[in-house]
Structure formats: C-alpha cells, structure tokens
Structure 1
Amino acid sequence: MRSQIKDELSKIPSGKFRSDLAIGAVLPIAAIFFTLCLILALHRYFSFYASFDQGIFNQVFWNNSHGRFFQSSLSSSLSTNVVHAGEIPTVFYHRLGQHFTPALLLWSPIYALFPSPATLTVLQVTLITMAGIVLYILARQYLEPRLAVMISASFYAANAVIGPTLSNFHDISQIPLFMFTLLLAMEKRKWWLFWLMAIFILAVREDAGVGLFGVGFYMIASKRFPRAGFATCILSFGYMLALTNLIMPIFSADISKRFMLERFGQYADGNEASTLEIIWGMVSNPWRLFVELVTPFDRTIRYLIGQWLPLAFIPAISPASWAIAGFPLLKLLLGQGESVLAITIRYALTVVPGLFYGGILWWSEHPKSFKPRFRRFWIGCICVSLILSFTSNPNRTFYFAIPDSVKPWVHVTLAQQWSHVSQLRPLIGQIPPNASVSATTYLVPHLSSRREILRLPSLELRNDRREVVKVEYAIADLWQLQRYQPAFKGDGSQLRDFIKLVNELTNKGEYGIKGFTDGVVLLQKGVNSDSQAAIDWKKWSNDAFRNVD
C-alpha cells in the first residue's frame, strides 16, 4: 500500500489542474479500497461470520419491501418488553422505538432489485468508498492535489473506517457520505444541498444530530456562517429532544428503559430515563461527568491515538477538528460499555468526518509544512494504520489468517470453514422460505428474509394473528462454538446449553431431528427424528459435552 501511495503521488503535478484530472488521481486508491473491502466483507458473509445485526437490518429491509415498514421479530427479541418484562417477541414490532432510521428507505429500491443480506454488504462498502471520493473533492476546495490525495488515502487507511466497513451492515455507514457532502455544500454555498443533507443526517438515527450539532457549533465559532450555524444547532438539538421524548416512545419504551440506561445509566436514578433526565444528570453532577470523560484513561488515549494516526496526528492540533468531532467524541467518552471506545466498530465512524475536515482546514493554513520529511512520516502513519487494521482482526474478518487465541491455540483455516459451510448449506436449504425458524447467531443473517425468525434459544413468538406459536424449525451451528470454546468461556457455556436444549426438545417429542452433520443440527416441530441423524447427534453431542472446558 505504501508503494502504491507513493506511485500515485508521483503522478500528480505540483501545480493546479482541472478537477476531472485531479479526481482521477484518487480513483485508483478508492478502487483498491472498494475491491479489497468488498471481497473481504462478502467472504465474511458467505463463510458465515456475519452475525445478528446483519440479520436485523436484512429483516427490516425485507419487511420494508413487503410494506411492513421497520417491523422486525429479531429486533423485538431485544426490546425492553421482552428483555425486562418477559413478554413474547412479536413479528409486528416496530424497530423505530429502538433506533429511528428512516434514511434506510433511501436504499430500499436497490434492495428491492437485489433482495439479499449480501446486498447490504455491497451497499455499505459502496457508501464508504463514495464518502472518500467526496472527501477528496472537499479537500480540493482548499488544498493542492498532493495534499488532497493524502487526505483521501488517510481516510481509506483509517482503522476507524476499515473496521466498520468490514462489519455487519449498520445505519452509521451513511454518516461519512452525508457529512462530507454537507460540508462540501457549505463550502460552495449550496444551501439547498446543505439543508437536504442535514435532513438526511438526522434521518440516519436518533443520535446522528450530535455530529450535525458539531458542524453548527463550528459555523458559529469560526464566524463564517453564524446564522446558519445557529439554525443548524437548534434544528439538530431540537430534533433529537423531540424525537427521543415524543416520537420514539410512540413505538416502544426502549429508548428510556433500555438504550439510555445501557449507555448513560450512570447519570440516572431508577429504571428508566429520558434524554432530558440524562442531560440534567450530567449537568447537575460535574465531578462524575469529569471522571467519566477521562476514564478509563489508557483506553481513552489509545482511542484518540487510533483516530489521529492516519492523519499523522494533525487533528490533535486542529481547532476545527475539536469543534466538529468533539461532540460525537464527547458522546462516546461519556458513555459506558466496552463498545464505545472500540475503534473497529460502527460508533467510531461518527467521529471521522469532523477529524478529516479539521485536518483539511489545518493544512490550508500550513501548506508549507507539507515537506518531504513530513510526507514520509505521514505515509508511515498510514502504513501503521493499515497494519493495525489487519492485526486487530475487525469483526473476525481475517479469522483465516489470524488466530483468535494463541494459548490455547484457536484458529479456523479457510479449508476448515468452507468445508463446514458446504455441509451446513444443505440443512439450511431444507427450511422452506416462508417457514418460521429460530437459529444460532451466525445462521440468522442467511435466514432473515422472512417474517418469523428468532435467535436461539428463543422458540416462541406472536404472529400476525396475535397468536403465540412455536417456530416450525430450529437450526443450531454448534461446530463453531465447539471450535472457539477452549478460549472463550461464553462459547462453552452456550454449547452446553444448546446441547441440553436439543435433547430436551427431542425427548419431549416437541421437535424431531430432521438432519445432523458436522455439528449442525436441524429440528422440525411435530415430526419424528430421522433415525440415522438421531444416532449421529447422540454420539457427537455426548463427546462435545464431555470435552467442554
């Protein structure tokens, strides 16, 4: 990658030249990013490493294409009514109570043409790639071509970009494209496009307005567009308050009883809290706010370094970067949970646009600093970021190259995984496309294009007739749990529980074993077990249960 970047830079003349030639300089880098990420992300999906969230979004898109907008039985299984109140998941649950994501409708026509979970993977890689191209055009408003190419190359090499691109599909993948387009519209004074992008950003999800508020704050603080900045701040902040306190509770109580408490429960008392109550909890206890902001100190520093690294740490000294990216960064630093400071998952993308725009503005004021010595240092930073992106093994994308554990040794080779895939696909093929089903996590995406689906061990749901029924099929991939359980206690615990569940269901006669191969068991409700499959299951499950660490 380092040599490729050098080659592209050497082709670019130092003087100004036409825009069509300028953008041609960054297209090869964008093409490399698109091709590699698409291959890796699709391989992750087709080799059964895409997981639950991919299934949720696919089911939402599938229901949207059938006129049942934003309904999902998979999302229902995560709702506060199910998790906290013990209710039965429903097929008519509206996910808008968890995350308000109307912007997904923009891509529904594409999904209607190619209705598959893999379509969402292609869409995500495409959105991020396009964002890098728009970033280049944005950089050219201020910078000469060499610098603009470096900015774009840094974007495509950022761990905070690569990791989320190689993950399950997520709504935040729209943010960089919308934000860079909004900032470009601001620079060109195309206010109709600016406000259109502002609406699109707010429609991404309920907290996307935090990043938009940062843009408004910059517009005011820089005194460039103070009136538009005030309007942007009022629009974004007012929208978030109205949405989370008035609109989302119409669909469900998840925002106050689950999501706010999971992320910001340390600022609240009781079993539920609105956004206004969380804000008041922060303001009324500044010491707790400060402690949450700086702790854990080591992880916070590592996270900031990871975000700054591909831009050679320039955002750390750019006031504009702090002004815009500071607000989404503050939201992450003040939250709780392991995921908020994980640079390879989707939340990291919310910080990226502000950092890169701030980097552009800093370089516009210090163009003479772009000397050969610093250029070499910058390229070195890009290479280190690429290496870290690989070695961090985001979302197990590189499972075939990087072991999940060294001691004990846990590693699944390409040959092993694809041999397993070839044996489990025929079992999945036995499940009718309209049948209700419950599946283990990594099988959910491949079965999610249907109305009634749950994740094991759940078996009951409420259908469109408002009747509580048990799913017709259940399928569990226990081979993967068996492979990973020596290093991960949670996988061993799940393996035991699923073996017990299958034995319980078959002993009661509720379900019969329709097929079993290579640690994958398929159950069907109300049928007798296939005799050979039952024998194979008993032998395998007894051995697996005894060998669980």
Structure 2
Amino acid sequence: MSIGNSLRLVLPVAVIFFVLCLIFTLHRYYSFYASFDQGIFNQVFWNGIHGRFFQSSLSSSLSTNVVHGGEVPTVYYHRLGQHFTPALLLWLPIYALFPSPATLTVIQVTLIAAAGLVLYLLARQYLEPPLAVMITASYYAANAVIGPTLCNFHDICQIPLFVFGLLLAMEKRWWRLFWVLAVLILAVREDSGIELFGVGIYMILSKRFPRAGLAVCTLSFGYMLVLTNLIMPLFSQDISQRFMMERFGQYADGDEASTMQIIWGIVSNPIRLLVELITPVDRTIKYLLGQWLPLAFVPAVAPASWAIAGFPLLKLFLGKGDSVLAITIRYAMTVVPGLFYGAIIWWSQHPKAFKPSFRRFWVGCICLSLFFSFTSNPNRTFYFLIPDAVKPWVHVSLPQQWHHVGQFRSLLAQIPRDASVSATTYLVPHLSSRREILRLPQLELRNDAREVIKVDYAIADLWQLQQYAPAFKSDRAALQELIQLIDRLTTNLEYGIIGFEDGVILLQKSATSKEEAKAAWLAFRQGVGSGE
C-alpha cells in the first residue's frame, strides 16, 4: 500500500481531532476563558507586525525588575530575556493577515494536528498500516497532546511537528532538511535544545548515525549554554534571577544562578539529584503512567523512548513547582515526540506482539486516555460541562456564561483601540492588541516616551471571580483585592465609574462617575464586600 493511500486511514482521525479542538479552543476564547498567556503572545505578535519585535508590557509585568525589583512595567521590554523564541516569526505573516488572538489558537491547533500526520509517515517507515494507524490514534488521544492543545497559545506547540519532521528526515537521510529542522527546534525556546540533545544521544547509542549524533549533541548543548549565559542576559536578567531560581533554585546557593551553576549544583550532589528525581513518588509515577497510557505502556520498555524522552523528563523531574508534573499543560508536550518514536522502534522489533488481545487492550488504553483527558477539564475548556468544585458547588453553565458575555461586551467597546488599559486575567486577551496594557491590580507603566503613566482605563470582571470564590482561595483573595482597589480609586476621584454591567466594572482616569453605573457598583459591592 502506498503512503498516499494509507494516509487516508488516519486523515479522518486527524480531521476529527482538528475540528473538535478548534471548536473547543475557539469557544474557550470567545466565551472569555482564554487567560493571561494568550494575551502575552497576542501582544508579542501584535507588536511584531508593527515592527516592535518581541516587545510586551504584559511580559514586562512578569520580569524580575518588576516582580523582585519593584520597578514599573515598560512597553519596550523585550520578552527574549525571559524566553528566546525566534521561531514565532515563522507565523507572523499569517497573523499579519488575520491579526487576532483567535488566529494564534488556529495556528496552535493546526500545528499539533499536522504533527500527527508527520508521525504517521514516520511510523510507516517501520510499521504496517494497522500499527501505524494505532500509533497515530494514540497521539491524538494522548492527554499530553489534548491538554496543551486546549490551552492558551504557547511556543511549545511547534515542538511535535519539528521533532517528528526531524526524525522523519533522519530516517529518509534528508540531511539538509534534518539540519534546518534542528535549527528550528533550537529557535522554539531557550530550553528546546534538550529535546534535540535527546535525539543526538539516540543517534549515538543506536550506532546508526554516531557522527551526526555527536554533532547534534554538541550543537544543542553549546547553543543552550551560549544562549542562556551570554545572549539572553543582553535583554534582561530574568533567566538567572527569576526563571532559573523559580524552577531550579534548590540547586543554587544565592539569589541568582546561571545555567552552568545550576548544572554544577545538580551533578555535584548526587543524593539530592536522586531525591528530586523520584519525589514526590506518587505524582512522578502518576505522571509517567499518564504519558505511557495512550501507547499501552510500551514506552516504559522501549530503550529509544528513554534515550530521547529521558532528557525532557529529567528537566521536569528535577524542577520544582506544581506545573512540572501536570500532564495537561504545555511542558508535557516536550516528552511526547521521544515516547512515540521509541514506541515505533519497539514495535518494529516486536511485530508479533500486535495480537488481537493486545490490540483490544490498546484500544482500551486509548479510550481511557480520552476519558481522563476530558474529565481533567484541561484549562477549564469544558467548564460548562464539568463543575470545578462539588463542595461547595461551583459550576458556570453555557447559557449563564454567554449571557454574561453579552451583558458586558458593550463595556469593552467603550475602550479606544489606542488607549492604555489594565484588565483582569480573562479580559486581557481580548484587549491585548495594543501597545499599553497591564493586568489588574497593576495600573502604572512606562511608555515609549520613558514616562511613568497610569492607564487610561481599568476593567474588571468581578462576576467571574465571584463564581469561583466560594471554592478557591486565590479567586476569593483577588476579588477582595480588586474591591479594595476600586474603592480607593473612586474615593480619591482618581478614576470614575463609567460603566457597570453584570459584575463587570469599567473605570476611566479623571472621569466623573456616572450615577447609574455607580449605583450598580455599590449594590454589587454590598453583596460581596464582606467576602460572601
């Protein structure tokens, strides 16, 4: 059977994945559940089409100068000091044609869906169509694929396509394409060389392409060291003072650390290394089982999976924080290419194991993975179907949310496109196509004239926080903080209330409050002011 004919077997699966993910992610955006990161990337792209590449006031608000130094966010801050992501320029022409946060969502779903088709072509280099179809179906059913697809736009969405393409080029001996894709992988993020390093290790250990593998390892490791120690610090000190410390601060002695210092801190204390690798034991085991489940646990016994995916796994297991072992967020996607390629190699060596009984078991694993992907409610995509809490009951229905959106859209329309604004998390993406934007409660930024100003408008969706406050302390605290902020801003007449609809308040600097809007705010304020 030709590749073209056999590809028709997986096209329906790919189309179903693409259509469903696109529907759910676009619905998530348009119903105002896309959050802060979607706004960051949209502002980066929006600044890009206006010639201000990789600048973002939203990213600046997360920089070490602001978080640790207490400085004011700047509109001319270059995000390359936080994450070095030149590969995003590939998609800038598409965004220029359709400049919207929703465009990023379409790009992300398209890239991840296309990666599955490249995976099928890769599998067909070794396997017959039935096995290749199963491998591909496992990819589209993997929680580590579905979860990151249904979240805010992220740079890691490029990794599956680039890595599968690189491995296919390796199998075909298309070396020019191989090295182009190697460079693109490095351009995705400052740490994406870890995936490439794993490929190089496999090429060496398998003895198939040892010289090329050594070159890959040297290129990827050297690039990451030079980038994180010499190039990124030219933009800001975030890599050493914030991101390294937040993820790997347990291996450092001071308040900041370079990549080399973290690596030395890891290798110089093997006991601590071992403890970090296996703890917390329950979450580590659960994470591995979740990654292996859609492939019927074959990667657990596949040496090639460990060789390639082992290094991304090592980075996650050595890091700290809840997100590193969360299978539904973007970091989990870095492990996927190695696991699936290793499974392909294993099946090429054990084709007789594909018996009807194991096939049924595998289908069961795929169904179970789909079930877990849905019930985990990744990034609240299925908020209207799955309650966020049972005791106390927290659930926002579809009619309820869309009615809410319809009520406050007129407030967004009152904010001029060129005005500076600060907004709550779920409103940020929809207002991020502008130069000056922050997330509440921040109100001050430094503009292009290097002057510190307060934003012209502030808008807060208090109703959304109110829905989740009974079950979540963070939402409760955020609601009370915003209420106190609004009280202060309106009492000293710094901002006036010019709109209030269904728990969403719009403030304008130096404006006189509208009586009707102020009365609606005070009525709402009375109900939640005591923390009810």
The bucket for the TM-score relative to the shorter chain is over 0.9
User: Which amino acid in 1 is paired with 2:201?
Assistant: F
Q: Tell me the equivalent position of 2:57.
A: 73
Alpha-carbon distance between aligned partners in 2 of 1:169 and 1:482, rounded to the nearest angstrom: 26
User: Which amino acid in 2 is paired with 1:354?
Assistant: G
Secondary structure of 2:117's aligned partner = helix
2:131 pairs with 1:150: no
Cα drift, residue 352 of structure 1: 0.2
- Give the total of aligned pairs: 532
Cα drift, residue 490 of structure 1: 1.2
Q: Tell me the equivalent position of 1:304.
A: 288
Q: Tell me the equivalent position of 1:491.
A: 475
Alpha-carbon distance between aligned partners in 2 of 1:392 and 1:545, rounded to the nearest angstrom: 33
Q: Tell me the equivalent position of 1:454.
A: 438
2:225 to 236, 241, 258: 241
User: Which amino acid in 2 is paired with 1:228?
Assistant: A
Identical pairs, percent: 75
Q: Tell me the equivalent position of 2:266.
A: 282
User: Which amino acid in 2 is paired with 1:30?
Assistant: A
Q: Tell me the equivalent position of 1:13.
A: none
User: Which amino acid in 1 is paired with 2:42?
Assistant: N
1:412-454 per-position Cα deviation (integer Å, ceiling 9, x unaligned): 0001000000011110010001100000000000000000000
Alpha-carbon distance between aligned partners in 1 of 2:264 and 2:84, rounded to the nearest angstrom: 23
Cα drift, residue 74 of structure 1: 0.1
2:359 to 368, 371, 375: 375
2:77 pairs with 1:93: yes
Alpha-carbon distance between aligned partners in 1 of 2:408 and 2:193, rounded to the nearest angstrom: 43
Alpha-carbon distance between aligned partners in 1 of 2:385 and 2:2, rounded to the nearest angstrom: 43
2:395 pairs with 1:411: yes
Secondary structure of 1:528's aligned partner = coil
Q: Structure 1: 5+ residue runs without aligned partners?
A: 1-16
Secondary structure of 1:25's aligned partner = coil
**Aligned positions of 1:9-158 closer than 5 A:** 17-158=1-142
Secondary structure of 2:176's aligned partner = helix
User: Which amino acid in 1 is paired with 2:230?
Assistant: L
Q: Tell me the equivalent position of 2:419.
A: 435
User: Which amino acid in 1 is paired with 2:327?
Assistant: I
Alpha-carbon distance between aligned partners in 2 of 1:75 and 1:459, rounded to the nearest angstrom: 15
Q: Tell me the equivalent position of 2:507.
A: 523
2:213 pairs with 1:213: no
Secondary structure of 1:516's aligned partner = strand
1:143-174 per-position Cα deviation (integer Å, ceiling 9, x unaligned): 00000000000000000000000000000000
Secondary structure of 1:514's aligned partner = strand
1:463 to 426, 447, 472: 447
User: Which amino acid in 2 is paired with 1:177?
Assistant: L
Alpha-carbon distance between aligned partners in 2 of 1:493 and 1:187, rounded to the nearest angstrom: 54
Alpha-carbon distance between aligned partners in 2 of 1:82 and 1:154, rounded to the nearest angstrom: 43
1:61-114 per-position Cα deviation (integer Å, ceiling 9, x unaligned): 000000000000000000000000000000000000000000000000000000
Alpha-carbon distance between aligned partners in 2 of 1:126 and 1:32, rounded to the nearest angstrom: 12
Q: Tell me the equivalent position of 1:542.
A: 526
Cα drift, residue 179 of structure 1: 0.1
User: Which amino acid in 2 is paired with 1:372?
Assistant: P
Secondary structure of 1:441's aligned partner = coil
Cα drift, residue 142 of structure 1: 0.3
Secondary structure of 1:41's aligned partner = helix
1:169-219 per-position Cα deviation (integer Å, ceiling 9, x unaligned): 000000000000000000000000000000000000000000100000000
1:342 to 321, 326, 340: 326
Alpha-carbon distance between aligned partners in 2 of 1:402 and 1:429, rounded to the nearest angstrom: 31
User: Which amino acid in 1 is paired with 2:425?
Assistant: T
User: Which amino acid in 1 is paired with 2:372?
Assistant: L
2:368 to 358, 368, 384: 384
Cα drift, residue 243 of structure 1: 0.1
Secondary structure of 1:442's aligned partner = coil
User: Which amino acid in 1 is paired with 2:490?
Assistant: T
Alpha-carbon distance between aligned partners in 1 of 2:408 and 2:211, rounded to the nearest angstrom: 60
User: Which amino acid in 1 is paired with 2:293?
Assistant: L
Q: Structure 2: 5+ residue runs without aligned partners?
A: none
Cα drift, residue 503 of structure 1: 1.1
Q: Tell me the equivalent position of 2:335.
A: 351
Alpha-carbon distance between aligned partners in 2 of 1:425 and 1:276, rounded to the nearest angstrom: 49
Alpha-carbon distance between aligned partners in 2 of 1:27 and 1:201, rounded to the nearest angstrom: 26
Alpha-carbon distance between aligned partners in 2 of 1:502 and 1:265, rounded to the nearest angstrom: 36
Cα drift, residue 337 of structure 1: 0.2
Q: Tell me the equivalent position of 1:194.
A: 178
1:395 to 367, 376, 379: 379
Alpha-carbon distance between aligned partners in 2 of 1:313 and 1:399, rounded to the nearest angstrom: 30
Q: Tell me the equivalent position of 1:508.
A: 492
Cα drift, residue 377 of structure 1: 0.4
Alpha-carbon distance between aligned partners in 2 of 1:498 and 1:40, rounded to the nearest angstrom: 30
Alpha-carbon distance between aligned partners in 2 of 1:355 and 1:26, rounded to the nearest angstrom: 20
Alpha-carbon distance between aligned partners in 1 of 2:274 and 2:48, rounded to the nearest angstrom: 43
Root-mean-square deviation (Å): 0.5
1:256-283 per-position Cα deviation (integer Å, ceiling 9, x unaligned): 0000000000000111000000000011
Alpha-carbon distance between aligned partners in 2 of 1:288 and 1:426, rounded to the nearest angstrom: 55
Alpha-carbon distance between aligned partners in 1 of 2:2 and 2:474, rounded to the nearest angstrom: 57
Q: Tell me the equivalent position of 1:324.
A: 308
Alpha-carbon distance between aligned partners in 2 of 1:499 and 1:542, rounded to the nearest angstrom: 11
2:158 to 134, 159, 174: 174
Q: Tell me the equivalent position of 2:145.
A: 161
User: Which amino acid in 2 is paired with 1:438?
Assistant: S
User: Which amino acid in 2 is paired with 1:72?
Assistant: S
Secondary structure of 2:427's aligned partner = helix
Q: Tell me the equivalent position of 1:185.
A: 169
Runs of 4+ aligned structure 1 residues displaced above 4 Å come to none
Secondary structure of 2:51's aligned partner = coil
User: Which amino acid in 2 is paired with 1:97?
Assistant: G
2:415 pairs with 1:424: no
Alpha-carbon distance between aligned partners in 1 of 2:194 and 2:499, rounded to the nearest angstrom: 50
Cα drift, residue 539 of structure 1: 1.0
1:351-409 per-position Cα deviation (integer Å, ceiling 9, x unaligned): 00000000000000011111111000000000000000000000000000000000000
User: Which amino acid in 2 is paired with 1:100?
Assistant: F
Q: Tell me the equivalent position of 1:4.
A: none
Secondary structure of 1:521's aligned partner = strand
User: Which amino acid in 2 is paired with 1:115?
Assistant: P
Alpha-carbon distance between aligned partners in 1 of 2:525 and 2:104, rounded to the nearest angstrom: 35
